Amino acid sequence: MNSYGVLTTEEEIMEMEPECYITPKEEGEFEFDIDFRAWYKYGEALICYGHNYSNHSFIKLFAWRRPVNDEMIYAPKETDIDMSKVKDGSLWTVTLGRNKRGKVEWKTAEFANVR
């Protein structure tokens, strides 16, 4: 785990049972409670694992690496919040939408609360 709480080893990640989390297939807006975060092993992304606060479904959202103000951050497509530096246990209002290829992607995140 790094200083921001992001899991960094395969052992740490597997202890959290990431296989229980799915990638959403539907567009929408909901409250997302972050359970834990880990680096994506196949590319430059951070996976935020959490649950939909209203229906308690376990989901994972991808924050891709991109430049903002001369630094690289891991963020939803239309939000400039570095999700690698937020706290596990924080609650976010998130929006999912379709990209040009028709796939659902994480568009926005707005801080709501900390549990």
- pLDDT tens for the chain, 115 residues: list them: 888 899 999 999 999 999 999 999 999 999 999 999 999 988 899 999 999 988 999 999 999 999 999 999 999 999 999 999 999 999 999 999 999 999 999 999 999 987 6
Partners of 49 in the beta sheet? 36, 60
Q: Name the one residue in this structure whose structure tokens are 């379709």.
A: 98
Return the pLDDT at 4.
Answer: 80
Q: Which domains does the chain have, with CATH numbers?
A: 10-114 (2.40.50)
31/16 Cα distance (integer angstroms) = 21
Q: Distance between CA atoms of 62 and 44, rounded to whole angstroms?
A: 10
